[in-house]
Amino acid sequence: VLALPKGRIVAEVLPLLARAGIVPEAAFGTNATRRLWFDTADPGLKLIRVRSFDVATFVAFGAAHLGIVGSDVLAEFAYSELYAPLDLRVGRCRMVVAELAEMRETDDPAGWSHIRIATKYPNLTRAYFAARGVQAECIKLNGSIELAPRLGLCRRIVDLVDTGATLKANDLVEVEQIAAVTSRLIVNRAAMKTRSAETHRWIDRLAEAVDAAR
Ligand code: PRP
């Protein structure tokens, strides 16, 4: 079972899967069914579609054997049950700290000691700031993070930036980059042992597909 994330990453992942010989049934990616698992042309491989954070959870608990997930999600959870052998080189974006543009001119990040931050990534954010002696009080949101500063929930956010359009449309500017992000193949560590031949075969095929795309 291969867990795939929903959202804009799908369009980048499907061509990569095709190069690896993974062809989902026609209903995949359409709204024609409420079914959440799908067959592929290979009887030995099923696909499931879940939210990106849940890809890591399904694979960590062995409910799915393989998954595709952003390095942002991996860093937030740090599940020891996950092995991430392959950078798929798609889903490229950046994780940044941002704040209201009007505040940026006078604000000095070197002077921060205690800050409040809205984010999907509270663990990662706390650890990032703790490493430089800043206490980050995190407010966990699941989406639309960019609304938070304008409405006074907090003054700063940590979120992903791709084109920068969402920051700009919400009067936010980047203060600093926390990490570069790409999608990774993840594998359940137990499945690596109990289904060794199959998991290694998929890792190899996806690695070849990534190389072919370079
Ligand atoms: C992501 C991210 C930003 C946006 C960045 O959200 O959280 O909000 O994309 O992209 P941009 O720089 O190209 O504007 P997504 O659209 O995946 O939805 P979400 O708010 O549900 O996380």
In the prediction, which pLDDT does 156 show?
98
Tokens 């938070």 sit on residue: 148
Other Cβ atoms less than 10 A from the Cβ of 153: the count is: 15
For the chain, what percent of residues have pLDDT higher than 70? Answer: 100
Residue nearest atom 5 of ligand 1, based on CA coordinates: 161
Tens of pLDDT, residues 79-111:
999 999 999 999 999 999 999 999 998 999 999
Q: Is 142 in the pocket of ligand 1 (CB under 6 A)?
A: no
Q: Is 162 in the pocket of ligand 1 (CB under 6 A)?
A: yes
In the prediction, which pLDDT does 33 show?
83
Cα–Cα distances (Å) from 57 to 53, 67, 129, in that order, read 7, 10, 25
Distance 166 CA to ligand 1 centre (A): 7
Q: What is the atom index within ligand 1 of the atom nearest the CA of 144? A: 20
In the prediction, which pLDDT does 166 show?
97
Of the residues 162, 171, 177, 183, which should be mutated to test ligand 1's pocket, given the most ligand atoms within 8 Å of the CB?
Answer: 162
Of the residues 10, 161, 173, 177, which should be mutated to test ligand 1's pocket, given the most ligand atoms within 8 Å of the CB?
Answer: 161
Task: Quote the DSSP letter at residue 172.
Answer: E
Tens of pLDDT, residues 6-65:
988 999 999 999 999 999 999 987 778 888 999 999 999 999 999 999 999 999 999 999
Q: Is 161 in the pocket of ligand 1 (CB under 6 A)?
A: yes
In the prediction, which pLDDT does 32 show?
80
In the prediction, which pLDDT does 116 show?
98
Tens of pLDDT, residues 161-184:
999 999 999 999 999 999 999 999
pTM of the entire structure? 0.94
Give the C-alpha separation, 94 to 104, whole Å: 19
Distance 41 CA to ligand 1 centre (A): 32
Q: Is 1 helix (H, G, I), strand (E, B) or coil?
A: coil
Give the C-alpha separation, 158 to 193, whole Å: 37
Distance 3 CA to ligand 1 centre (A): 21
Distance 165 CA to ligand 1 centre (A): 9
In the prediction, which pLDDT does 12 show?
95
Q: Is 51 in the pocket of ligand 1 (CB under 6 A)?
A: no
